[in-house]
Amino acid sequence: MALGTYSELQAAIIAWAMRSGDTDFATQVPDFVVLCEARLNRILRVREMETTATLTLASDGTASLPADYLAFRDVTALGYSPARSLDAVSPDYAVDEHPFDGEPPQHFSITGSTLRTHPKGSGTVRLRYYQKIPALATNSTNWLLAKSPGVYLYGSLLEAAPYMFDDERMQVWSAMFDKAVSDLVSEDHQAKYMRGQIRPQGATP
């Protein structure tokens, strides 16, 4: 069975759950996929999820995070020569450390869906971050389904198990899902670091 599109994934979930002809179950399948994606957005961080956005700061040094934001990789204040890499701090620390404005920003903090520079900056910042997996509810396919369909299939079946009151199969789907995610993360790590030399920051002892 092909697993290249959203509709093909739904058909596979029904087949693997042995619920062919069960219209009530078929109606719930999109919910299982949504729950699977929510779980993956919490735990998965691979290079296909990395992207960059340029944010324009308001007068108070704040900017709204992108709608698909999950977690930051780094933040750089632009418009300085050279551009300034900002360190992440807690909002409380930033207020105590930078009570006055007028200096170039050194830190940033994130509260809710807002990024703030400290001291408050102006202009733009470059945000490199992990973005949410494109939802299959609004896309016929995405990079994850193309690269690792098992992650979607086993994850959706794991979410379906409680609906079916199938505790025994839940353990099976959980193990298969964990293995598929682990393999994906391992492949990502090898692609990024296996042939590179990792050097620590700072002076060499």
Do residues 92 and 25 share a domain? no
Do residues 140 and 126 share a domain? no
Is the residue at 200 inside a domain?
Answer: no
Predicted confidence (pLDDT) at residue 203 exceeds the cutoff of 70: no
Do residues 57 and 108 share a domain? yes
Q: Binning pLDDT at 50, 70 and 90, where does residue 101 land?
A: low
Q: What is the Cα Rg of the chain in Å?
A: 22
At 138, phi and psi to the nearest 5? -120, 10
Do residues 59 and 122 share a domain? yes
Is the residue at 194 inside a domain?
Answer: no
Is the residue at 195 inside a domain?
Answer: no
Is the residue at 202 inside a domain?
Answer: no
Do residues 51 and 127 share a domain? yes
Predicted confidence (pLDDT) at residue 73 exceeds the cutoff of 80: yes
Do residues 99 and 36 share a domain? no
Q: Which residues of 26-63 are buried (b: 16+ CB within 10 A; e: fewer)?
A: bebbeebbebbbebbbeebebebbeeeeebebeeebbb
Do residues 139 and 183 share a domain? yes
Is the residue at 197 inside a domain?
Answer: no
Do residues 25 and 52 share a domain? no
Query: Which amino acid is residue 156, in one-letter code?
Result: S
CA–CA gap between residue 161 and residue 18 (Å, rounded): 12
At 203, phi and psi to the nearest 5? -70, 145
Do residues 75 and 122 share a domain? yes
Predicted confidence (pLDDT) at residue 146 exceeds the cutoff of 80: yes
Is the residue at 1 inside a domain?
Answer: no
Q: Mean pLDDT lowest for which of 14-28, 41-55, 95-109, 150-164?
A: 95-109
Candidates 153, 169, 131, 116; CA nearest to 49 is: 131
Tokens representing 28 are 């719930």
- Please state the pTM of the whole predicted model: 0.87
Average pLDDT, the chain: 91
Is the residue at 192 inside a domain?
Answer: no
User: What is the structure's pLDDT at 120?
Assistant: 84
CA–CA gap between residue 61 and residue 66 (Å, rounded): 16
Number of domains in the chain: 2
CA–CA gap between residue 93 and residue 63 (Å, rounded): 19
Is the residue at 196 inside a domain?
Answer: no
Do residues 63 and 104 share a domain? yes
Do residues 35 and 53 share a domain? no
Please say which residue of 131, 146, 171 terminates a domain.
131
Predicted confidence (pLDDT) at residue 95 exceeds the cutoff of 70: no
Predicted confidence (pLDDT) at residue 13 exceeds the cutoff of 80: yes
Residue-number span of the structural domain to which 87 is assigned: 47-131
Q: Binning pLDDT at 50, 70 and 90, where does residue 197 land?
A: low
Do residues 81 and 124 share a domain? yes
